[in-house]
Copies of this chain bind each other. A is one copy, B any other.
Amino acid sequence: MTTLVPLQNHQIRLANRPVGMTTRENWQFTTEAVTEPVEDGVLVKTLSLSLDPAMRGWMNEGKSYIAPVEIGEVMRAGGIGKVIASKHGNFAVGDLVTGGLGVQEYRQFAPAEIKRHAISKIDLRMGTITQWLNVLGMPGMTGYFGLMEVGQPKEGDVVVVSGASGAVGQTVGQLAKIKGCRVVGIAGGKAKCDFVVNEMGFDACIDYKNEDVRAGLKTHCPDGIDIYFDNVGGEILDHVLARLRRKARIIVCGAVSQYNSATGVQGPKNYLSLLVNRARMEGIVVFDYADRYPIAIAELAGYLKDGRMKSREDVVVGLETFPESLVKLFTGENFGKLVLQVASD
């Protein structure tokens, strides 16, 4: 292999596993020379990376829905990149692709990885690069399949979604509106609440940082809740459980309020409401629906095109900001899907 002089690949690797909130100390910064792709391989330059709450889970040891990132490994991250060298017939220099690029500037894809669809081309006519990391990316797929498959929304259902202005929440709330539901968001701060109501068409939004969530749910869901799409866990989940309707569905997508807890996860004290209301709480992992991503992407891209769905991304710039940018997801500082722009082209 020849070296693509003078390309240097700056990388961020997991140095150690955090206890509680993740900090810069958890990361190691490395640099490697970039080489030519192998026969039938592809070299991708990272343009933008998706920063997601799930990353905090990948930093932990132990069994989960996906293997943990190992100590010393480049941090896992999905992203959009550009093919800058290709020895594979299906990919040409200049193609834009989505896939697991990792928190680094360049990534080689081996023939076996390409064979199992580790990268796929994106079409900017369907959405922008940041939208491909948001509504048309993993968060959008998570929202789409979580709501449609587990939530099974019916017209007139009352849908509550936490993390309402976040990546998954945006898709869930707007899609539920399109499906004829009444949608109540929960978000942190007036600006986010105003945004999902005024710009994204939610029926209401509760500001958990400044309002009593229990009282807000009573006001906005006087007859109870049919579907709760849970991105946060913690006390909000308990408040929702207390207001379930018969045969309600709770989609367990995440628990961002709990991921950095050094004392362990808080279990939902009101879980017996599932019994009283013959309700269901079910987990979703987006990868299970990979075969059907194209169908969901086509549907969501249609909504973006005809204006029935909007997207909002919060773009931070510079690979080196990764450690602090990631923390924003847990303090709620991001406003919209958090994207790390590594290179502009």
Contacts of A284 in B (CB 8 A): 275, 278
Asked if A282 is at the interface (CB within 8 A of a chain B CB), the reply is yes
> What is the chain B residue whose CB lies nearest that of A276?
B65
Contacts of A258 in B (CB 8 A): 272
Query: Do A254 and B275 touch (CB < 8 A)?
Result: yes
Asked if A253 is at the interface (CB within 8 A of a chain B CB), the reply is yes
Contacts of A252 in B (CB 8 A): 271-272, 274-275
> What is the chain B residue whose CB lies nearest that of A54?
B275
Q: A267-B266, A267-B270 are in contact. Are A285 and B275 (CB under 8 A)?
A: yes
A interface residues, tally (CB under 8 Å): 33
Chain copies in the assembled complex:
2
Main secondary structure of the interface of A (DSSP, over half): loop
Q: Which of B64, B265, B274, B282 contacts A283 (CB 8 A)?
A: B274
Within 8 A of B (CB), among A280-304: 280-285, 288
Within 8 A of B (CB), among A251-273: 252-255, 258, 264-273
- CA–CA, A238 to B266, complex, Å? 12
Query: Do A269 and B264 touch (CB < 8 A)?
Result: yes
- CA–CA, A64 to B65, complex, Å? 35
Contacts of A238 in B (CB 8 A): 267
Q: A266-B267, A267-B266 are in contact. Are A278 and B288 (CB under 8 A)?
A: yes
Other 13 A-B pairs with CB < 8 A, given A252-B274, A265-B269:
A63-B276, A65-B278, A252-B271, A252-B275, A255-B275, A258-B272, A267-B267, A271-B281, A274-B282, A275-B284, A276-B283, A279-B282, A279-B283
